[in-house]
Amino acid sequence: MGLPRMLTIGALSDAYRAGTTTPVAVMEAVIERMAAWPDPAVWISRFDDDALRRAARDLMAAGGPGPDRPLWGIPFAVKDNIDVAGLETTAACPAFAYRPACDSTVVARLRAAGAIPVGKTNLDQFATGLNGTRSPYGAPRSVFSADHVSGGSSSGSAVAVGAGIVPFSLGTDTAGSGRVPAAFNNLVGVKPTKGMLSTMGLVPACRSLDCISVFAATAAEADMVRAIATAPDAADAYSRKSADVTLPAAGLKVGVPVGAEREFFGDTANADLFEAAIERMRGLGCTIVEIDFAPFREAANLLYAGPWVAERMAAVENFHRKHAADMDPIVRKIVESAEGVSAVDAFRGQYALAAFRQKTRAAWDAADILLLPTTPLFPTVAAMKADPIGLNSKLGRYTNFVNLLDCAGIAVPAGFRPDGLPFGITLIGPAFSDAALAVWGDRLHKAAAGGMGLDRDADLAAMPAPVGPMVERISIAVVGAHLSGMPLNHQLTDEGGVLVKRCRTAGDYRLYALPGTVPPKPGLIHAPGFDGPGLEVEVWALPAAAFGRFVAAIPAPLGIGKISLEDGSAVSGFLCEAHAVQGAPEITPLGGWRAYCASA
């Protein structure tokens, strides 16, 4: 199988199930892509080629994909401030390096789901920066320009996905490090609610604010990884039990800054694209509400101009005492600014944050979520090095407040500038609205139609949507006219249905083209003892009330029963009464209704 330019979890999983490729073959492709990518600054360390091949072979020897291993055979990259057993953790500071005895909690969960870590990616040292230039290992560039920054601090993690080397990666986010690089590389970046993902095995930047983040090509895949990695962790003092916060499925109220607060520092291209994103939200049926952004902006200023900078010193105090000279000069300057912060200042900062939080309540009373530019401008590496602190501060104008105010966020692509560089927006919601935000982020991403990563022409419409909060949803397998792109698919989407996955039935099913049906429909029959190829189905998730309405409208001879899938699981789905297929042409050898329609 020739792999696509952008690797995705869905495409690889489908290929594994179909038997057209293997984890070993995919790992060979990943090795080739790592070697071919022209920017050596992406990686700090990685497993050697033989170790990667061995990991893929060991995975296959332990069994194939299944419901308990949803990431089976999926390679991923890890920011080098997160522990991966077998590789050093450097936080982009060679003098700080250590070799962990075990994986971080999140990496361990992803490995248990079948994913394979391939290496550790570059970052702004000690995760201090939003630009990606503060590392002795070099400054990764945007996948679209060798002159422009990649964004940081999770620089290498974003480039590894944007370049099509791996399907997803882990970053971190304290001030925007899981969002800014997503914008600069045409990716989705999920910044989970604080405490949702364990930070055990993470080198802290600001421990009370840090989040492990996810980069992926689509909102569905980024949120899938987020959900798999989510779990309470008694060993992490900041861990919290997750709880789904829902958002309206339609008629969403979206807050945007009033005109005077839409600051782009003279970058008219980004300003125009943000206005276009607002119009897209309107086109999705949302109500746009102008809000006072000032209290959010003032809260954001506390992160570096307030006492929270002292938390960065707390993270590296012992190392700084002995190795200050080994630190990046800009990072050292920022960390050392904490030396004049007192306990009194810390309390005053807490009081100020509480006051700003109170002032933001008017915005949250008026809007369900916020729509913001991820960054106001897109600097070159040269410009960033000429003004490393000032420009970095501008990059964080719309990101720095999010963890301070305990919000969830998802950054998604929002089009391209006239100079060919990408622009991104971020949707911000209340804590634990992560899954619901992913649904709206996916809609906005698809409406922008700018592809994913380097592949600007990718067919986003064909990509599954996030499921959203799995509250009172019921799965249903469809086999014919309700498939994506087919005449009756709207009956699912009109009811708020979302595509969960594409897969095949078990081998003991047969498919017939039912005569005289309008629009044309197939009939799926369970045939115990039959050994066929398995038939193409799509699994959709419908709200419980919608499921009842949908089933009630199904005409005879079709009905709903339990269908066994190729992975051994069972799901409700369309089955046909046996008498209705007497004399009907059997189309089982074609593998599914879509193939039959194409042949006809």
For residue 472, what pLDDT is reported? 61
- The residues near 135 (Cβ < 8 Å, ≥ 6 apart) are 41, 92, 122, 123, 124, 125, 155, 328
Distance CA 224, CA 227 (A): 5
Contact 440, 247 (CB under 8 A): yes
Choice among 142, 157, 177, 198 that is catalytic: 177
According to the 3-state scheme, what is the secondary structure of 189-217? EEECCCCCCCCCCECCCCCCCCEEEEEEC
Provide the 10 A C-beta neighbour count for residue 511: 28
Q: How far is CA 272 from the centre of its chain?
A: 25
Tokens of 231: 């779990």
For residue 68, what pLDDT is reported? 85
Distance CA 590, CA 574 (A): 18
- Paired with 526 in beta bridges are 509
Rounded to two decimals, the pTM is 0.83
Q: Which of 50, 44, 52 is nearest to 23 (CA)?
A: 52
Q: Best-predicted range by mean pLDDT among 65-69, 173-177, 515-519? A: 173-177
Distance CA 377, CA 415 (A): 14
Provide the 10 A C-beta neighbour count for residue 340: 9
Distance CA 251, CA 245 (A): 17
Confidence category of residue 415, pLDDT binned at 50, 70, 90: very high
- What would the pLDDT profile of 29-55 be if each residue is shown by its tens digit? 999 999 999 999 999 999 999 999 999
Tokens of 582: 């007497």
Choice among 45, 153, 157, 213 that is catalytic: 153
Whether 177 is catalytic is yes
**Contacts for 583-586 with beta carbons within 8 Å, 24 or more apart?**
583/515, 584/512, 584/513, 584/514, 584/515, 584/523, 585/512, 585/513, 586/510, 586/511, 586/512
Confidence category of residue 1, pLDDT binned at 50, 70, 90: low
For residue 361, what pLDDT is reported? 96
Sequence-ordered strand ranges (E) for 267-323:
287-291
Q: Which of 279, 272, 219, 273 is nearest to 254 (CA)?
A: 279
For residue 462, what pLDDT is reported? 87
Q: Across residues 223-235, what is the average pLDDT? A: 95
Choice among 79, 194, 446, 521 that is catalytic: 79
Distances (CA, A) of 203 to 54, 57, 162, 173, 485: 28, 31, 25, 12, 46
Distances (CA, A) of 490 to 43, 225, 300: 44, 28, 43
Q: Which of 142, 91, 37 is nearest to 417 (CA)?
A: 142
Provide the 10 A C-beta neighbour count for residue 86: 13
Contact 416, 270 (CB under 8 A): no
Distances (CA, A) of 183 to 449, 471, 499: 15, 30, 25
- Paired with 564 in beta bridges are 570
Q: Is the pLDDT of residue 271 over 70?
A: yes
Contact 199, 223 (CB under 8 A): no
Ramachandran assignment for 355, one of left (phi > 0), alpha (psi -120 to 50 degrees), beta (any other): alpha
Whether 155 is catalytic is no
Amino acid at 343: A
Whether 153 is catalytic is yes
- Paired with 369 in beta bridges are 254
Confidence category of residue 498, pLDDT binned at 50, 70, 90: confident
Mean pLDDT value across the chain:
95
- What would the pLDDT profile of 277-303 be if each residue is shown by its tens digit? 999 999 999 999 999 999 999 999 999
- The residues near 459 (Cβ < 8 Å, ≥ 6 apart) are none
Contact 65, 17 (CB under 8 A): yes
- The residues near 256 (Cβ < 8 Å, ≥ 6 apart) are 262, 278, 288, 289, 290, 291, 370, 371, 372
Confidence category of residue 358, pLDDT binned at 50, 70, 90: very high
What three-state secondary structure class fits 288? strand
Distances (CA, A) of 17 to 30, 389, 422: 19, 49, 34
Q: Is the pLDDT of residue 558 over 70?
A: yes
- What would the pLDDT profile of 104-158 be if each residue is shown by its tens digit? 999 999 999 999 999 999 999 999 999 999 999 999 999 999 999 999 999 999 9
Ramachandran assignment for 114, one of left (phi > 0), alpha (psi -120 to 50 degrees), beta (any other): left
Buried-exposed string 5-27: b where 16+ CB fall within 10 A, e elsewhere: ebbbbbbbbbbbbeeebbbbebb
Contact 82, 201 (CB under 8 A): yes
> Can you list the domains of the chain with their CATH numbers?
9-251+365-462 (3.90.1300.10), 473-599 (3.10.490.10)
Provide the 10 A C-beta neighbour count for residue 78: 29
Q: Is the pLDDT of residue 24 over 70?
A: yes
What three-state secondary structure class fits 370? strand
For residue 542, what pLDDT is reported? 85
For residue 471, what pLDDT is reported? 52
